[in-house]
Chains A and B, each alone.
Chain A
């Protein structure tokens, strides 16, 4: 796992796809590849209310990435300093082994270059001290980028507020 984590706060996600669009725009991609994607899981009734899921899927930047192990040319790489998994475009021969290997469909096919493109957490932006494009512009700020340990804090703090019913405190 990379030291970074992209946390989707599903409570605030409205499934608008702005993350997908800016990702493609930032990487100047043609129609087709989607390094990140939000999939709408159709509504169903939960406790009398319609509820739906808007599931955000970038690359998970695994600790032991299947794609890196599978890549025969060394194009698919993991950055030693922070664990970001990326494709070195000059070495990719378009063999698609990584597409086969990844259990989550993260590596995407770019028909214009005949190579694979994937989420690299916008490493150029990260190196410049910025957040990935998706987390920068997310309409509702539901995408949070940072160190893994900081991301879990968001849920803990929210949960604490929910269970701390100050009005009913006795002792």
Chain B
């Protein structure tokens, strides 16, 4: 018996469409969905390791209740009823004593995020946190300050671009399949790629121009590019005249930021900066200054991201073919999106968010996502109030929030930690109860509203029944809800019934997804008219270089540049990143992926390494204010002397994940918990480390 199931991958958060072949109840092959343009069968290495995850005996296989100290790894196997009753019995008195706001839930944004939000709203807690702020909170705020849209509402038209500039957006290594192939197609048609990074990544080896920028100085480069563009009138005058607010203020501001000044700060020759500005202008508006995927590097991150977006505005590339576009939803064609459980009526929540987002202390980050790196502070200081219970769904506070030791201290203050995961993550290891979720091949998930140039919906479908005693989060949340008196907010018996409820009113049924895994609201691409039809959501309905969002909150639109120090002796700026083989912190224990990338190494510049007596392959001690670890050195000319680099997501502590346990060093352990107080991102590249031969 053989069947084909069209579904969506979940080896990372991209949600690539997949085609799954099932023979006699076993998944035998996974490929990219050949019916989706831009995918055409392709699958990245993490996606290709999906079967290895499915049959991994080190996955979580049943609910577990902790029997020893937190983090001791002593568990007893429990039935679902027992585990869920245990959670409810702990949770009820916590809520009774401290109020609903004492319960927080953190997750990586996913298709059932509306279920998680419903769970908290029904309890009466504002404390829903997504991973987003840790990755790109300041990108979100920067986009809202300029356009009134979040970054998630904006897309990039790689395929039709003529020139793309990427600031460490390591597109050919931190892979999203469709993006990779769209850019490849553009390059085959003659598009240029300029790549800027203190380190030679794989993307650098494919670029037409590569600049090894001094780490932390991208903002200086952008101020100089803006200077040249305004001075030489290289911008799209008609577009700017029509849509941009604050050009004069910007002009005054960048006056002193000459390319010669930027050369001293960045190490990039002034003439090359001028050349790039002119080249981009020649190809405008089909150009892209990539605003970033991760945007969590510096304490002034929002201003770096704004400077990138402003360059696009000057080139008129926003809503241009081959530029940046606003994603169109079903409303554009008079249709309805899938329903969400959050549309139900809940009692109003009076308590502010525990991270103070939305209050005058922290006004601008997106309250829809929160700022997770503030959570340890809130828990430890009980400020603004005690948080006593934490639910963690497919998220890793210990390896994603900078300063793991601080996070651990905060965890100690909690009365209840529940983790829903598929693997022994480090946070699972520190939890009181672990609830195992079925993996993506074993469950149907909520509808993906795929907004873009053509609004569509995609569906993740169960390909095989769960291999172990696992359940779907939508069902788990409902079953906890029923035990604490909020069951009525979960009007379904299983995920499939929830999807049917979601699809009501959209004009589509579950069966419509059978044939190819997705449905399209329209066949036509929707692009607004660049000169007459742009629908910015700022108060002025324009692109606000001079931002009312920022200035009304007491922040400047154009803060002066602050010089970045150099690093000498054994001191370096720590930078982190990804490769194609691992997804953040979640795949390091996969048998096939760990075989290819078992641990991280520390990239260090050859000259600096020679001075310190460090050799490739030798062990070094890397230390910050927060902690230290031993890691193998990778000595190379292809990293800027000021920085050392390590892959994110290694140094796991959960012992039962034997392939990833104690392999490499955790960047989050070293990183300081510093926040961009305007935009909301953590400053993951603002930690200084010392390196010495071990």
Give residues in A with beta carbon < 8 Å to B.
Answer: 12, 14-18, 20-22, 24-26, 30-32, 42-43, 49-52, 133, 136-141
Contacts and interface: CB of A to CB of B under 8 A. Distances in A.
15 contacts: A14-B172, A21-B592, A24-B592, A31-B592, A31-B595, A43-B204, A49-B209, A50-B210, A137-B32, A137-B42, A139-B42, A139-B44, A139-B175, A141-B41, A141-B181
Given A138-B42, A139-B180, A140-B180, A51 B205 contact: yes
A136 B209 CA distance: 32
- The 10 A-B residue pairs with the shortest CB-CB distance in the complex, in nearest-first order: A16-B580, A21-B48, A22-B48, A18-B45, A137-B43, A52-B205, A14-B172, A50-B200, A21-B45, A31-B595
B459 interface: no
Contacts of B44: 16, 18, 139
Contacts of A12: 184
B335 interface: no
Of the candidates B30, B32, B43, the one having the most CB atoms from chain A within 10 angstroms of its own CB is: B43
A14 B591 contact: no
Contact of A14 (B40, B206, B593): B206
A43 B48 contact: no
Nearest to A134: B48
B173 A14 contact: yes
Contacts of B180: 14, 139-140
A24 B592 CA distance: 8
B207 interface: yes
Given A31-B595, A139-B180, A18 B205 contact: no
B202 A25 contact: no
B115 to A, nearest CB: 31
Contacts of A137: 31-32, 41-43, 47-48
A20 B45 CA distance: 8
A160 to B, nearest CB: 14
B528 interface: no
Of the candidates A21, A31, A43, A141, the one having the most CB atoms from chain B within 10 angstroms of its own CB is: A21
Interface string B91-104: 00000000000000
Given A139-B180, A140-B181, A50 B47 contact: no
B72 interface: no
Given A17-B596, A21-B49, A140-B180, A43 B43 contact: no
Interface string B179-191: 0110010000000
A52 B207 contact: no
B341 interface: no
Given A17-B596, A49-B210, A50-B638, 20 more contacts: A12-B184, A14-B173, A16-B580, A18-B47, A18-B580, A20-B596, A21-B48, A21-B593, A21-B596, A22-B48, A25-B30, A25-B49, A32-B595, A43-B200, A43-B205, A50-B204, A52-B205, A133-B29, A136-B41, A139-B43
B506 interface: no
Contacts of B609: none
A141 B593 contact: no
B45 A16 contact: yes
B177 interface: yes
Contacts of A26: 29
B581 interface: yes
B46 to A, nearest CB: 8
A30 B173 CA distance: 25
A112 to B, nearest CB: 12
B51 A25 contact: yes
Interface string B36-64: 00001111110111111000000000000
Contacts of A17: 45, 580-581, 596
A14 B580 contact: yes
Of the candidates A17, A51, A52, the one having the most CB atoms from chain B within 10 angstroms of its own CB is: A17
Nearest to B172: A14
A117 B31 CA distance: 23
Interface string B317-331: 000000000000000
B638 A141 contact: no
Contacts of A21: 45, 48-49, 52, 592-593, 596
B202 A14 contact: yes
Nearest to A29: B592
Nearest to A18: B45
Nearest to B595: A31
Nearest to A54: B202
B6 to A, nearest CB: 15
Contacts of B204: 43, 50
Interface string B197-238: 000101011111110000000000000000000000000000
Contacts of B52: 21, 25
A129 B44 CA distance: 23
Contacts of A49: 207-210
B202 A15 contact: yes
A29 to B, nearest CB: 9
B591 A52 contact: no
A69 B406 CA distance: 63
Contact of B638 (A30, A32, A43): A43
Contact of B42 (A51, A133, A141): A141
Nearest to A53: B205
Given A14-B206, A22-B48, A136 B31 contact: yes
Contacts of A140: 42, 180-181, 184
Contacts of B50: 25
A137 B206 CA distance: 21
Contacts of B40: 141
A153 B52 CA distance: 36
B202 A52 contact: yes
Contacts of A31: 591-592, 595
Nearest to B200: A50
Nearest to B27: A25
Contacts of A136: 31, 41
A21 B205 CA distance: 23
A51 B29 CA distance: 34
Nearest to A48: B210
Nearest to B41: A136
A16 B204 CA distance: 14
A128 to B, nearest CB: 11
Contact of B175 (A16, A25, A50, A52): A16
A133 to B, nearest CB: 7
A15 B45 CA distance: 10
Nearest to B590: A21
Nearest to A46: B205
Contacts of B41: 136-137, 141
A6 B378 CA distance: 57
A163 B319 CA distance: 35
A125 to B, nearest CB: 9
Of the candidates B29, B31, B48, B207, the one having the most CB atoms from chain A within 10 angstroms of its own CB is: B48
Nearest to B55: A28
A21 B43 CA distance: 10
A22 B31 CA distance: 9
Contacts of B30: 25
A14 B52 CA distance: 23
B48 A18 contact: yes
B577 to A, nearest CB: 15
